[in-house]
Chain A
């Protein structure tokens, strides 16, 4: 028996505490001594890596994924809190360091929920079960009679209740159950609903900590001047300044070979100062002579011409992609349609340029930086510092908030620069990339070209379809000999083209670029969705058909699609019914059949990527010689989703991101050097160009969770090209669109 029931069966734990404040003392009538079993142990419950419940009732959820605006810190906490039946206002989120014990931490590929949904649900459910068990033991009632509800465990029969914080210590004494019952999805109250982001208030008060916001005692700031062409290093600095107040010194960093070690710094002259502006000013005026490298001759225009040329010859067929007999079908003739599409290099340009703080001491190294994968960065830093494998724990890598990333910050070259400089200077060093550094020395989204060729029926249906793609593969960064597109790059909208075609072949070609390439939000889906969606629109137009009607006709009837090339994970096979559904929904949402004003066109595109389905309609016109997008309609089916509002926000953001690349995005290289340097010549979409955006989420229906951060991007550019065609009759087959 316990003190509460003895004294006052009807007094709730909360009410009781409210009166007495101190459980043991306040619970006893004079002369009564609490019996050991009567007292709830005080303590902290930590049933797994991701959840801590402290005696004051605070639930701390550990986010092992990095926050870059996709709302992951909030979503992970929602999952845990829901299964825990926690009071949301008592949930806090901590950020995990990079550590193998968490499993995959590579916040990339729109996979955080997909990978962690089940394990975080069971993290919360396990704690809930333990709290119920602790309460049942305490009250000496069967487990089945106690229920968890909003941060309390309740025994309805006797009208008793205990708060989670009060139960934490007792629950912590219990063995952690191997399995705990999960809620039915109908019981979820956080999962599937809106939550205000856990960092929203900090950000709106200027308090969020981004990469550059952390100051360590005695920290110096470095700005690095890098060689305009990849692989060049400092040969000579003509003007070594010495008497600048605040200047600490200049350190030469050696260039890394053009491929490997993976994500090594580019090298250059690091100007180190007591403050950022001094470093910037000295860096700006340095006159540096650079060593040569073969990349000095690189020209993006020449590369694009080579890509176009590659499309004229047979490429490497995607294994098993040949259906029917394409060559015979073309030889037999009919209405032939062919088109070539081109897209340029792009820079990520996250709003926060790369920045990192490192502190290397005799004991080890700490890094605080906006990193998408603190775990792999930790390993790279350890090997950079020459630590033996067993010394890995001497490195601590803690992600700050990421001021945007889009794939850029999964490459920790900027953190390695800070590590190297801190090691040399024996003091904490912050490396601050300037916007110019960011635009010129990115891991660029690859330029590409596609050629589509088809024989179409009078209804615009493809009887034969040959598609070729050519682009520099991301694998060129990892291996000096790599050249061909990887199957995972082709799986991004090329080898899994969903249309029903009797005679079909898919071929690819690669090329080595003279710059670093890397994944950018939705990666190869950008150009594959672009070319395939515009070409499909061209088929419909050639036959005078409605674009959506036509698209629904050329899709298979339904069911799971068998695709050549790389296979999707089990349970994530391309589902034609879901593809059809988002098309039908966007047709309704956009009022596709409602006539628009003269000169206004609707354009449609649909794409499956990151296991999600997105259909987009844009309403566009040309005003004063420029494309103007008034409205965007997006339907997203991402299976089970966590924060509904975040899903909508990601689609809104994807429209803007997609329009930026469709209308403005263009990085060019001449003599190895990037031509653009800042937002004046690498513009972003602005408020005045942003369309009103309407988003619809397809209900979860118990489906597996899928990607949200990236899949909204691919349909945007082709939807715009198709809308401009509808508005003006002009077909733009190259990005960015120049009307």
Chain B
């Protein structure tokens, strides 16, 4: 069944069964492999994307339920959050990197709703994202740093 989607600002179409989770539509049918499979059960956050601006677990979202909401993935994140992505790079946040698309998408959604999150805000927003490599302290520091850079209004 052909389903129309709005992904990273573009209209795209995928021919999939309606119960197919958005994760697999992105990965297998649209070639957007930046979004990762980690558990398929909503536990790990590796598959996090933005749906209408909110962080969602794409492995838990049947594509039929997406309707016309805007979907944004890691592939377009740097356009909207250059400070965040750059801070991540400069701080060597990623180790293996497999969880990091999900981490970044959760972090971006947090910053979209909260320009200067506290540690407690970060705990609340980021605890759905597992990092087996254990990059949490750098994620925390980099969210704070990116928030500051954004507040200063540039990539200083």
Interface positions of A (Cβ within 8 A of B):
67-71, 194, 196-197, 199-201, 203-210, 212-213, 215, 221, 245, 275-278, 280, 349-353, 401-406, 432, 434-435, 645-646, 649-650, 652-657, 660, 678-680, 684-688, 690-693
Q: Is the beta-carbon distance between A655 and B134 smaller than 8 angstroms?
A: yes
Q: Is the beta-carbon distance between A653 and B134 smaller than 8 angstroms?
A: yes
Q: Which residue in chain B gives the minimum CB-CB distance to A206?
A: B34
17 A-B pairs besides A69-B96, A204-B85, A687-B129 with CB distance below 8 A are A70-B95, A200-B92, A212-B27, A245-B17, A351-B44, A351-B131, A404-B98, A405-B96, A435-B38, A649-B135, A653-B95, A654-B134, A680-B41, A686-B127, A688-B124, A690-B137, A691-B137
Q: Which residue in chain B gives the minimum CB-CB distance to A436?
A: B40
Identify the interface centre among B37, B74, B127: most chain A CB within 10 Å of its CB.
B37
Can you list 28 contacts pairing A with B, beta carbon distance less than 8 Å? A69-B97, A71-B95, A196-B90, A199-B97, A200-B88, A200-B93, A206-B32, A275-B24, A277-B28, A350-B96, A351-B132, A401-B96, A401-B97, A403-B97, A434-B40, A653-B95, A653-B135, A654-B134, A656-B133, A657-B134, A680-B41, A684-B130, A684-B132, A686-B128, A686-B136, A687-B123, A687-B139, A690-B136
Using an 8 Å CB-CB cutoff, how does the interface string of B114-129 with A read, 1 for contact, 0 for none?
A: 0000000011101111
Q: How far is the CB of A98 from chain B (nearest CB, A)?
A: 20
Q: Is the beta-carbon distance between B136 and A197 smaller than 8 angstroms?
A: no
Q: Given the complex of chains A and B, what is the CA–CA distance between A221 and B85 in angstroms? A: 32
Known: A210-B36, A688-B127. A656 touches B41 (CB 8 A): no
Q: Is the beta-carbon distance between A206 and B137 smaller than 8 angstroms?
A: no
Known: A435-B39, A679-B41, A680-B41. A351 touches B98 (CB 8 A): yes
Q: Is the beta-carbon distance between A645 and B44 smaller than 8 angstroms?
A: no
Interface positions of B (Cβ within 8 A of A):
16-17, 20-21, 24, 27-29, 31-41, 43-44, 46, 73-75, 77-78, 85, 88-90, 92-101, 104, 122-124, 126-140
Q: Given the complex of chains A and B, what is the CA–CA distance between A564 and B94 in angstroms? A: 40
Q: Is the beta-carbon distance between B94 and A686 smaller than 8 angstroms?
A: no
Q: Which residue in chain B gives the minimum CB-CB distance to A349?
A: B132
Q: Which residue in chain A gives the minimum CB-CB distance to B75?
A: A206
Q: Is the beta-carbon distance between B34 and A277 smaller than 8 angstroms?
A: no
Q: Is the beta-carbon distance between B98 and A210 smaller than 8 angstroms?
A: yes
Q: Given the complex of chains A and B, what is the CA–CA distance between A432 and B24 in angstroms? A: 12
Q: Which residue in chain A gives the minimum CB-CB distance to B37?
A: A212
User: Which residues of B lie under 8 Å from residue A654 when comparing CB positions?
Assistant: 134
Q: Which of A280, A650, A685 contacts B40 (CB 8 A)?
A: A280
Known: A196-B90, A351-B131, A652-B134. A679 touches B39 (CB 8 A): yes
Q: Which residue in chain A gives the minimum CB-CB distance to B98?
A: A403
User: Which residues of A lie under 8 Å from residue B73 when comparing CB positions?
Assistant: 206
Q: Given the complex of chains A and B, what is the CA–CA distance between A334 and B129 in angstroms? A: 52
Q: Is the beta-carbon distance between B136 and A687 smaller than 8 angstroms?
A: yes
Q: Which of B43, B94, B136 contacts A679 (CB 8 A)?
A: B43
Q: Which residue in chain B gives the minimum CB-CB distance to A201?
A: B89
Q: Which residue in chain B gives the minimum CB-CB distance to A197?
A: B92
User: Which residues of A lie under 8 Å from residue B127 when comparing CB positions?
Assistant: 686-688
Q: Given the complex of chains A and B, what is the CA–CA distance between A69 and B127 in angstroms? A: 21
Q: Which of A200, A350, A405, A684 contacts B94 (CB 8 A)?
A: A200
Q: Which residue in chain B gives the minimum CB-CB distance to A645?
A: B92
Q: Given the complex of chains A and B, what is the CA–CA distance between A223 and B131 in angstroms? A: 24
Q: Given the complex of chains A and B, what is the CA–CA distance between A649 and B95 in angstroms? A: 8
User: Which residues of A lie under 8 Å from residue B131 when comparing CB positions?
Assistant: 351, 656
Q: Is the beta-carbon distance between B89 and A206 smaller than 8 angstroms?
A: no
Q: Is the beta-carbon distance between B92 and A646 smaller than 8 angstroms?
A: yes
User: Which residues of B lie under 8 Å from residue A656 when comparing CB positions?
Assistant: 131, 133-134, 136
Listed from nearest, the 4 A-B pairs whose CB atoms lie closest are A206-B34, A656-B134, A403-B98, A69-B95
User: Which residues of A lie under 8 Å from residue B75 when comparing CB positions?
Assistant: 205-207
Q: Is the beta-carbon distance between A678 and B43 smaller than 8 angstroms?
A: yes
Q: Which of B38, B43, B101, B134 contacts A690 (CB 8 A)?
A: B134
Q: Is the beta-carbon distance between B28 and A276 smaller than 8 angstroms?
A: yes
User: Which residues of A lie under 8 Å from residue B35 when comparing CB positions?
Assistant: 206
User: Which residues of B lie under 8 Å from residue A688 when comparing CB positions?
Assistant: 123-124, 127
Q: Is the beta-carbon distance between B46 and A351 smaller than 8 angstroms?
A: yes
User: Which residues of B lie under 8 Å from residue A210 when comparing CB positions?
Assistant: 33, 36, 97-98
Q: How far is the CB of B116 from chain A (nearest CB, A)?
A: 18
Q: Which of A71, A194, A201, A678 contacts B39 (CB 8 A)?
A: A678
Q: How far is the CB of A434 from chain B (nearest CB, A)?
A: 6
Known: A351-B132, A653-B135, A690-B134. A204 touches B27 (CB 8 A): no
Q: Is the beta-carbon distance between B134 and A685 smaller than 8 angstroms?
A: yes
Known: A210-B36, A435-B38, A688-B127. A352 touches B98 (CB 8 A): yes
User: Which residues of B lie under 8 Å from residue A71 when comparing CB positions?
Assistant: 92, 95
Q: Which residue in chain A gives the minimum CB-CB distance to B135?
A: A653
Q: Given the complex of chains A and B, what is the CA–CA distance between A434 and B43 in angstroms? A: 13
Q: Is the beta-carbon distance between A206 and B139 smaller than 8 angstroms?
A: no
User: Which residues of B lie under 8 Å from residue A207 when comparing CB positions?
Assistant: 34, 75
Q: Given the complex of chains A and B, what is the CA–CA distance between A352 and B31 in angstroms? A: 18
Q: Which residue in chain B gives the minimum CB-CB distance to A692?
A: B137
Q: Given the complex of chains A and B, what is the CA–CA distance between A280 and B24 in angstroms? A: 11
Q: Is the beta-carbon distance between B28 and A435 smaller than 8 angstroms?
A: no
Q: Is the beta-carbon distance between B97 and A203 smaller than 8 angstroms?
A: yes
Q: Given the complex of chains A and B, what is the CA–CA distance between A351 and B40 in angstroms? A: 12
User: Which residues of A lie under 8 Å from residue B100 when comparing CB positions?
Assistant: 203-204
User: Which residues of B lie under 8 Å from residue A204 when comparing CB positions?
Assistant: 78, 85, 88-89, 93-94, 100, 104
Q: Is the beta-carbon distance between B40 and A435 smaller than 8 angstroms?
A: yes
Q: Is the beta-carbon distance between B24 and A351 smaller than 8 angstroms?
A: no
Q: Which residue in chain B gives the minimum CB-CB distance to A658?
A: B134
Q: Is the beta-carbon distance between B137 and A678 smaller than 8 angstroms?
A: no
Q: How far is the CB of B120 from chain A (nearest CB, A)?
A: 9
Identify the interface centre among A277, A434, A656: most chain B CB within 10 Å of its CB.
A277
Q: Given the complex of chains A and B, what is the CA–CA distance between A326 and B124 in angstroms? A: 54
Known: A70-B95, A203-B97. A652 touches B135 (CB 8 A): yes
Q: How far is the CB of B149 from chain A (nearest CB, A)?
A: 15
Q: Which residue in chain A gives the minimum CB-CB distance to B23?
A: A277
Q: Given the complex of chains A and B, what is the CA–CA distance between A68 and B95 in angstroms? A: 7
Q: Given the complex of chains A and B, what is the CA–CA distance between A349 and B100 in angstroms? A: 16
Q: How far is the CB of A427 from chain B (nearest CB, A)?
A: 16
Q: Given the complex of chains A and B, what is the CA–CA distance between A685 and B35 in angstroms? A: 22
Q: How far is the CB of B54 from chain A (nearest CB, A)?
A: 19
User: Which residues of B lie under 8 Å from residue A196 when comparing CB positions?
Assistant: 89-90, 92
User: Which residues of B lie under 8 Å from residue A276 when comparing CB positions?
Assistant: 24, 27-28, 37
Q: Which residue in chain B gives the minimum CB-CB distance to A654?
A: B134
Q: Is the beta-carbon distance between A277 and B77 smaller than 8 angstroms?
A: no
Q: Which residue in chain B gives the minimum CB-CB distance to A273?
A: B28
Q: Given the complex of chains A and B, what is the CA–CA distance between A678 and B38 in angstroms? A: 10
Q: Which residue in chain B gives the minimum CB-CB distance to A681?
A: B43
Q: Is the beta-carbon distance between B137 and A203 smaller than 8 angstroms?
A: no
Q: Given the complex of chains A and B, what is the CA–CA distance between A405 and B43 in angstroms? A: 19
Q: Which residue in chain A gives the minimum CB-CB distance to B123?
A: A688
Q: Which residue in chain A gives the minimum CB-CB distance to B86?
A: A204
Q: Which residue in chain A gives the minimum CB-CB distance to B78?
A: A205
Q: Which residue in chain B gives the minimum CB-CB distance to A401?
A: B97
Q: Which residue in chain A gives the minimum CB-CB distance to B136?
A: A690
Q: Given the complex of chains A and B, what is the CA–CA distance between A227 and B156 in angstroms? A: 56
User: Which residues of A lie under 8 Å from residue B97 when comparing CB positions?
Assistant: 69, 199-200, 203, 208, 210, 401, 403
Q: Which of A403, A678, A680 contacts B36 (CB 8 A)?
A: A403
Identify the interface centre among B95, B138, B140: most chain A CB within 10 Å of its CB.
B95
Q: How far is the CB of B147 from chain A (nearest CB, A)?
A: 16
Q: How far is the CB of A687 from chain B (nearest CB, A)?
A: 4
Known: A277-B24, A686-B127. A351 touches B133 (CB 8 A): yes
Q: Which of B24, B77, B92, B132 contacts A404 (CB 8 A)?
A: B132
Q: Given the complex of chains A and B, what is the CA–CA distance between A354 and B94 in angstroms? A: 20
Q: Is the beta-carbon distance between A277 and B20 smaller than 8 angstroms?
A: yes
Q: Given the complex of chains A and B, what is the CA–CA distance between A691 and B119 in angstroms? A: 12
Identify the interface centre among B75, B129, B134, B136: most chain A CB within 10 Å of its CB.
B134
